[in-house]
Structure 1
Amino acid sequence: MITLKPLTPENLPPFYKWIRDEEAIIYSLSIFQGMKTDQQIKDWYLQAISDSRNSNHGIFVDGVFVGYAGISGMSKINKSGEYFIFIGDKNYWGKGIGTQVTQMIVKMGFEELGLNRIMLSVSVPNTAGVKAYERAGFVMEGRYREAALRNGEYHDKFVMSILKSEWES
């Protein structure tokens, strides 16, 4: 069973391992690429969970903390924000968790946070992510060309979004 809980400082320790795992972070936040020390990870984490424009939630599967997801950069004026998900525990990859969590966060964004639009960007090579977002109702809006540099190569990113009027509760 998947549950979402607000992130707290106590949830920090697994991030030290997850962010140092190149496979886990390859399609994640660019800032993760440069984090090398525990202090850098801790500083990022504490800033992220204290930013009032973010809605951060730990992902728990049968009580095990496996990652986090939420909406960042929320604009009260535009009633919009950017969806993100990071499943750091690779034992939980490929099990449909991303799709379920995406649906849960979208519902929260529209029903609890009062958003009208939720967007995201996803690396083109991240085919599992693209499929999960499509299953959750996100539609393709466009493409950022050569927007990410990973392992010495540039790749494109898709821009996708879902509107409250398109969402089925």
Structure 2
Amino acid sequence: MDTSIILKPLSIQDVRSFYTWVNDPEAIKYSLSLFQSLNTKEAIDKWFISVVNDSKNYNQGIFLAHSNTLVGYAGICNISASNKLGEYFIFIGDRNQWGKGIGSQVTKLVVALGFEELNLNRIMLTVSEPNYAAVKAYKNAGFKMEGKMRQACYRDNKFHDKLIMSILREEWNN
């Protein structure tokens, strides 16, 4: 059940959605560790401005096509032009949009942009092992399991493993 989405740059006005999302423990459970410590409007503003003004990484807002509503953001960070690689990330903060295929759709779009526009050869990611929906979306987009970082994440008062996955240009179905 795919929902039509559009990827486009974030603007300063888009920060308002993050005030709600970053303060929702369920929405940030497996997300960027930094989100665990962004607990004021000012801290979120400072982080968000750095994202919007970041020219070294590829950051895009995820918008519903029919309503132009922001539901999250995704992109590729830690880009190495010399090694032709980068690290994929996605955050869908609007929990009403979970389970609708947006993660799979966005992942495929960003991977295509990584290979076609950024001329990357390898795109990797890390994902919390208990985040089954994300692991499924990444596998659907062609990512392969590379390994595991043992007890690399601490959530809900316990440690869990993070999985390392990647996709190579030669494996990618365009």
TM-score by length of 1: 0.98
Task: Specify the code of the residue in structure 2 equivalent to 1:129.
Answer: A
Q: Which moved more, 1:12-21 or 1:43-52?
A: 43-52
1:69–1:84 CA contact under 8 A, matched in 2: yes
Matched, 1:153 2:153: no
Task: Structure 1 unaligned segments of length 5 or more: list them.
Answer: none
Task: Specify the code of the residue in structure 1 equivalent to 2:15.
Answer: L
Report the alpha carbon displacement of residue 118 of structure 1 after superposing the two structures with TM.
Answer: 0.4
Q: Secondary structure in 2 aligned to 1:99?
A: helix
Report the alpha carbon displacement of residue 49 of structure 1 after superposing the two structures with TM.
Answer: 2.3
Task: Specify the code of the residue in structure 2 equivalent to 1:11.
Answer: D
- How does 1:56-135 map onto structure 2 within 5 Å? 56-61=59-64, 62=66, 63-135=68-140
Q: Secondary structure in 2 aligned to 1:60?
A: strand
Q: Secondary structure in 1 aligned to 2:126?
A: strand
Instruction: Tell me the percent identity.
Output: 56
TM-score by length of 2: 0.95
Report the alpha carbon displacement of residue 51 of structure 1 after superposing the two structures with TM.
Answer: 2.2
Report Cα offsets for 1:86-124 as digits up to 9, x if no partner: 000011000011000000000000001111110000000
Report the alpha carbon displacement of residue 52 of structure 1 after superposing the two structures with TM.
Answer: 2.0
Q: Which moved more, 1:56-65 or 1:79-88?
A: 56-65
Instruction: Please name the residue that 2:149 is paired with.
Output: 144
- Aligned residue among 11, 19, 23 for 1:20: 23
1:53–1:75 CA contact under 8 A, matched in 2: no
What is the CA–CA distance in structure 2 between the aligned matches of 1:148 and 1:53, rounded to whole Å?
26
What is the CA–CA distance in structure 1 between the aligned matches of 2:77 and 2:52, rounded to whole Å?
10
Task: Specify the code of the residue in structure 2 equivalent to 1:27.
Answer: Y
Q: Which moved more, 1:36-45 or 1:48-57?
A: 48-57
Task: Specify the code of the residue in structure 1 equivalent to 2:172.
Answer: W
Q: CA RMSD in A?
A: 0.8
**Deviating runs (4+, > 2 A) in structure 1?**
none
Give the paired residue count: 169
Instruction: Please name the residue that 1:52 is paired with.
Output: 55
What is the CA–CA distance in structure 2 between the aligned matches of 1:82 and 1:135, rounded to whole Å?
17
What is the CA–CA distance in structure 2 between the aligned matches of 1:79 and 1:11, rounded to whole Å?
30
- Aligned residue among 162, 165, 168 for 1:163: 168
Task: Specify the code of the residue in structure 2 equivalent to 1:50.
Answer: N
